[in-house]
Structure 1
Amino acid sequence: MPLAVLARRLLTGVVLLWLVVSLTFLLVHLAPGDPAALLLPPSASAADAARLRTRLGLDAPLGVQYVRWIGGVARGDLGTSVALDRPVSRVLGDALPITLGLGATSLALTFVVGVAVGTWQAVRRGHRDDLALTVAATTVYAAPSYWLSLVAIALFTYGAARWHFPPALRLPAFGVRDPSGQLTGVAATVDLVRHAVLPVLVLSGVGAAGIARYARAAMLDVLGGDFVRTARAKGAPPARVYGRHALANALPPLVVLLALAFPGVVAGSVFVESVFAWPGMGRAMVQAIAQRDYPVVLGATLLYAALVIAANLAADLLLPALDPRRR
């Protein structure tokens, strides 16, 4: 990509990021609810509320608050959490690794499973298994992630005990690790993996269902190409035809789709983390919205928007490298 085009894309991304956070700032401050009223006890007086609003900077005009906040962002200061009385950067810094770990693992499984299922459907086009996988993928993709989370909890936690599942299938439903906090070493790692199974299963299941639909369409388009027919006519084995020739040419748009899907997986963890009580970005965002914690909401929105814009830019950079026809 020429430097002039890259610079223009970066400038467009910065402007878009500014528009997103500015609109979010306006919406959260116009939403009903007063952070001071949520922080004060019921017995507090109007004077107490006024003093708290002054301390939090909420008594200034909206334009002044916006200039203060955007100036702090330009200096790398996201402000202080109203509810937690901690710097927003620390609140998000504690939550981001959990969300990124959950999202990266889910995204890897999403791509591997989705491409494998979509390829199988394309190869078996018109057969019963293609129809069954299409129905299953459409159902999972259309289902809300919080509903799938509750189903997974009911099946592998309460249902596993009731129906006498093997111990390996009786999975913990909430939290990141054992509440006792006494596990160490390999036992702690195994416990973390067991806690991660259900949220990863939900996130990767929804993502793989969507990727499978795109992979099926991309493979069907490639399988109809002349080079695939030529490879078959030369007697190439099916594994070589589908792997080296067909899948290799269908992968570039799927890899770009993977880059674009990463922010969706991270944002989709909002509901999953809330249901499974994972202390990540999603749960922090939900709690901040409920507590009218404006700085945390704005900081999380800024981070989510930056991820989306960065993923789009990465997709633009990856496509010419993966697809020689776009160079």
Structure 2
Amino acid sequence: MIEIGTHVVENPVFLAPMAGVTDRPFRDACAREGVGYAASEMISSDTLLYATAKTRHRIVRAENDLPHAVQIAGADPVAMADAAALNVAHGAQIIDINMGCPAKKVCNRLAGSALLEHPDLVRDILRLVVARVDVPVTLKIRTGPTPDNRNGVAIARLAQSEGIACLAVHGRTRSDRFKGQAEYDTIAAIVDAVSIPVIANGDICNGEQALQVLRTTGAAGIMVGRAAQGNPWIFREINAALQGLPAPLPPSLDEVGATLMTHLLGCHKLYGEYRGVRIARKHIAWYCKGLRHAAAFREAVNKVEDSNDQLRLVESFFSQPALFEAAA
């Protein structure tokens, strides 16, 4: 159990916010499989963008009982505070601040993990956001700007002093991006340095790894990102491991197909036919990864532009049990 302000997260397994991935249909799919917490995709602090369909789709509340957490990113303290207040006015129950994204287009604006090189600016952003809203504020960081400057402990202490309620830490530096393996020693040092809940993130792909990371770091919970793409059942597996239960059976072909169909319907409903069909394509590719003839199936499904045709092809593909064998 993890307390984030007045919110109690019963299950210490978090979904990492991923831009272009963790939209409402994705978060709902993960919630059905037992994720305990799932924030929105990262959105810009530029409030002028809130009139765009892209941003409106990103901040919409998911259709589950988890706290409605919205992640914001930016480098201007006043703009970040304004964005936080605007999202709270639209129903956000938790504001999450992104200082972990390593993407060049984000860091080039001094946002995301680029901020870790500027502790004074980090302090200003956290101070103004926390003071501006009456909901808990959380923070996502990396272990530092570079392997030679892992300042995660200092940033964590700063975050706690400025009123951050919970801290998620990805076990790589900004310069690492997603290369190599995540390291957990810095996360363990952060856990020892602060009293707020710390969530460990990076390279957690199954229940055994989740248990190992918790043992290594002493973190209050773990956060899963890329391993959940096309695999919401990872949360079912991790939950069983944390409870000392046998690993559940992998999902059947019928279950995979039914889950994907529900996911696609959610995309079509949220984005409309044109965008929904296109956004759904990457999810289809993730769900069918490792299945026989998946490449031919993806080629066919990527050519259709009608939502009914997309659903028909998916239903046809997953109705053939032989395709569920591992690809040669």
TM range (shorter): under 0.3
Structure with more of its chain in helix, by fraction: 1
Pick the structure with greater CA Rg: 1
The alignment's TM-score, normalised by the length of structure 1, stands at 0.25
Structure with more of its chain in strand, by fraction: 2
The alignment's TM-score, normalised by the length of structure 2, stands at 0.25
